[in-house]
Structure 1
Amino acid sequence: MNTGSMKQAMRSRFALVTLLAIGALGPLQALAQVPARFSWDTLSGAIAVPLIFESINGNTNPFDPAHIVTPGANFDATMAIAGYARTFALFDRSAMAAILLPMGRISGDVTVAGRTFNQSASGFGDPMLELGITVIGPPAQKNIPDVMRYEPGFTVKLLADLALPIGEYDSDQPLNIGQNRWYGRLGLPVIWQLGPWVPGRRTTLELLPAVWLFGNNTDYVGQTLETDPLFQLDAHLTRDFTEHLWGSLDAVWYNGGQASIDGVQGEKLDNLGVGLTLGYTIKENLNLTVGYKSTINDNAPGDLQMDGFMATLVFGWHPLIEGSRRLKEE
């Protein structure tokens, strides 16, 4: 590889780490909103280890993506998520598999069947498995030249998540870290490239229509909790400020997800949220993302009310890229 190609490959590494950093973070964000740039494809065989920290306040349990509203409640939660993600080629298409483990604590007031509980919970939540694959767009990136040539253009992916109901759960109280039921998501992430694909000048419009599906919790304080499917639409307008710094304007819409407890139905969600995200490549293998999200049409007692800060630190690597770096240093 000549010097010019090597420099370009080193630049590609910054993009590689950024894509890995965000790609591993989809399932369990505050407001269940998927972050910007998480759907960008990257080099097959890459690995990322994310650590996410969130401080969240609102009238729903942020560990539960069903977002069942408790009118008048005020929950405070501290959440951390550790994960592992790997990219690979499947049928010559870019794919990614990830596992994430939420943990933390939550406290606040909960009202169930006319009774108010002042409760707290802590521990490990439900692990979540995620699989994503490109169905429309560029082929899998199998080497450094593929990374250098990559442009998303118009890309559509298929995304599937499944949570394993093994997190901390106390059937004597409604507020828990684990949810004691199966749940998951099916989505179609869309990336629309706007303008040239040059580091420092990249702009994208990203959409993710998805539906969350929930099993029944048959031991919800001695009752049965059921939740209808919840439709969620995420949108992001992202822009590079420099080769290492980018920002995003974020929005999310929730619709549906009507919950019932022993047949007594609650309200459907029809809520909007907005946010800001900044991402920065600290060094070649380390990426930092910070953001703030909040609901906006949340004045009525039954509206979803939630806001939170999030910081994400991700370490990512690829044997091929690391080998190229060592050759350059020699």
Structure 2
Amino acid sequence: MRKRLLFVCFALAVSHASAQFTDPHTYDNTPVGTNQIELAYAFARSDSSLDTSLIVSGAKLDVNQGSIQYARYFGFLHRLAWVQPGIPIAGLNGSISGINISGSTVGTGDSSYMLAMLLKGGPALSMAQFENYNPTTVIGASLTVTAPTGFYNSSKLLNLGSDRWSFKPEIALSQPFGPEQKWQLDVYANTYFYTDNTSYRGVEILRQQPLAGLEGHISYSFTNSVWAAVDTRYSFRGETLVNGVDQNNSQQNFILGSEVNVSLNARNSLVFEWARALAHQNGPAISGFAVKYDYSWGRGYR
């Protein structure tokens, strides 16, 4: 029984560890034709489970994750749009205190695919046109799909994949303000929808209700190349059923984080992130940090 609980603790780890926030400034207008590669390293630690369907007291879990994402910005109906696929590669270590059970694994996690568009305040501009663009109120929308491409074996103790699809529609509002518009407020509303995991704990069926979330990010630009943000996320609901039996585990989670973005030049930038769950009712008690490197190129870049 203990081994089955530990298996549950580790399933879905990577996908939830790496998707706590939508980054601030995600919906900033960008010149069409821009390409961006992002290489990231993230570390996450949990005092219980990272699986949103079950919390296991005494579990200790460390995730070391590398990821690569590619973004392509283009014009659609005279508005800015972009696509962004990504895939993580992770190492996972865990144990349950008080008993002699531990394990580790390395492999790929579930891949993600984002399609987004600016609905207001984001005209499709070339690099030359963008030089005269003044930031304004932006309303954007996106859909992120996570595919069950990660390592998952119902007979194994540790799993990096979730063995189910998820869909996250999101609506965003970005508002610059203050002297010289150095401040920016980003507000996001999103909901995760999940398909069933039909091999949960080997033979059971896991069904999860939608997990809704609200995010607020406030950032300040110290210079044209350095800005910092404070990030918050509140998520709720997401109760689960196992073989049709309600687990009575509706969630209420509050996560606080921060981010610093440093543009080294027009093509290269570094991002430093930190996050911690301050409240986690039936959710993961997670803390972690990430370091990202972004490289951009396209017509007009120097």
State the TM-score, normalized to the length of structure 2: 0.87
- Residues 110 and 175 in structure 1, CA contact (< 8 A), matched pair in contact too: no
Residue of structure 2 aligned with 1:57, choices 15, 30, 45: 45
Superposed CA deviations along residues 237-260 of structure 1, whole A, max 9, x for unmatched, are 001011211100110111111122
Matched letter for residue 242 of structure 1 = T
The structural deviation recorded for 1:213 is 0.6
Structure 1: gaps (5+ residues): 1-26, 323-330
Residue of structure 2 equivalent to 1:246: 227
Secondary structure of the 2:163 match is coil
Identical pairs, percent: 21
Asked if residue 100 in structure 1 is aligned to residue 81 in structure 2, the reply is no
Please give the residue correspondences for 1:1-330 in structure 2 after superposition, counting only pairs within 5 Å. Answer: 30=18, 32-58=20-46, 59-61=48-50, 66=52, 69-109=55-95, 118-145=102-129, 147-173=130-156, 175-195=158-178, 202-220=182-200, 221-264=202-245, 265-298=247-280, 302-322=282-302
How many angstroms does 1:174 deviate by? 6.2
> Contact between 2:34 and 2:73, CA under 8 Å: does it hold in 1?
yes
- CA RMSD in angstroms comes to 2.4
- Confirm or deny: 8 A CA contact 2:228 2:260 kept in the other structure: yes
Give 1:261's aligned amino acid: V
Once the two structures are TM-superposed, the CA of residue 109 in structure 1 deviates from its matched residue by 3.8
Counterpart-to-counterpart distance in 1, 2:56 and 2:134: 44
Letter in 2 for 1:135: L
* SS in structure 1 of the partner of residue 131 of structure 2: helix
Would you tell me which structure has more helix in proportion to its own residues? Answer: 1
Does the 8 A contact of 1:269 with 1:304 survive in 2? no
Alpha-carbon deviation of 1:313?
0.5
Specify every segment of 5 or more residues in structure 2 that has no aligned partner in the other structure, as ranges.
1-14
Deviations 1:84-135 (A, max 9, x none): 1100001101001011001111122479xxx996343320111111100011
The aligned residue for residue 9 of structure 1 is none
Structure whose residues are more often strand by fraction: 2
The one-letter code sitting in structure 2 at the alignment partner of 1:317 is: W
- Asked whether the equivalents of residues 53 and 239 of structure 2 are also in contact (C-alpha less than 8 Å), the reply is no
Contact kept, 8 Å, 2:218 with 2:231, in 1: the verdict is: yes
- Tell me if the contact between 2:266 and 2:301 (Cα under 8 Å) persists in the aligned partners: no
TM-score (normalizing by structure 1) = 0.80
Displaced runs of 4 or more, over 4 A: none
Tell me by how many angstroms 1:38 deviates.
1.4
Residues of 2 paired with 1:87 and 1:203: CA distance?
24
Report the Cα offset of residue 303 of structure 1.
4.6
